[in-house]
Amino acid sequence: MAAINRFTELFDLLVAQGADATLKDEQGSTPLDYVRSPHAPPMVTVSMDGKSPYSVIIAKPDIVRRSLRYQRIAFDRVWIPQRQDIETLDLQAAIEKNPQADEHASYRREYVLDDLEEANREYAGFIVKGKKYIFCSLDYSSNRQPLDAQFSLDSRASMVIDPANGTALRIYLIGDY
């Protein structure tokens, strides 16, 4: 209840006293998914040195909801992935395991793989029927710092990843929406 009501001091005290912050509810959420303050940072940096592509987690649920709806991705609720959820993803392997079988699937895979190392990565999470998924937007601009806590408007590609098996379930290119 402390987490759901965002009583952060009480939550911190309970965790310090041994409460299990990794316990999951029926939707697969932990107390940390709930306790995030409305004043929490709008994004979590995974990697950003100003020279190479950046990786961030968008941590504002309203921005994530709006982006998922714009891209016509069905979801029950938003969750904020933890840094370790993103650090353990192998995007190249996820793309190569992509099961799409439509006539444009191999083109999508090759298009994204060709420039993957140059892409800035913006991540978010969502839940469908109790299962967690990660949404990744690939921004190919030369900006090496995110402009704001929202998905890039010039993102040329994005994908939905099943973190349980490391597979990109769907790859989208601009114009697919």
pLDDT of residue 32: 65
Same domain, 14 and 89: no
Check residue 74 and give its pLDDT: 92
Q: What is the pLDDT of residue 177?
A: 47
Q: Do 46 and 7 share a structural domain?
A: no
Per-residue pLDDT of 122-174, as tens digits, reads 899 999 999 999 999 888 777 656 655 455 544 678 899 999 999 999 888 87
Amino acid at 23: L
pLDDT per 10-residue tile (average), the chain, 177 residues: 55 75 70 59 70 83 84 89 91 86 76 87 92 90 60 70 92 70
Domain that holds residue 49: 41-173
Q: State the CATH number of the domain containing residue 13.
A: 1.25.40.20
Q: Which residues pair with 172 in a beta bridge?
A: 158
Confidence at residue 20, expressed as pLDDT on a 0 to 100 scale: 81
Report pTM.
0.71
> Are 77 and 16 in a shared domain?
no
Find out whether 144 and 50 touch, Cβ atoms under 8 Å: yes
pLDDT of residue 141: 72
Pair 125, 57 in one domain = yes
Q: For tokens 């993803």, what's the residue?
A: 89
Count of domains observed in the chain: 2
CA distance 8 to 44: 19
pLDDT at residue 132, rounded to an integer? 96
Please give the pLDDT value at position 10. 67
Residues 4 and 74 in one domain: no
Question: What pLDDT is attached to residue 36?
Answer: 56
Reading the block at residue 3, the tokens are 């987490």
* E strand spans, the chain: 43-47, 55-58, 77-79, 120-128, 131-139, 155-162, 167-173
User: Residue 134 has what pLDDT?
Assistant: 96
Residue 126's pLDDT is 95
Q: Are residues 18 and 81 in the same domain?
A: no
* 125 lies in the same domain as 59: yes
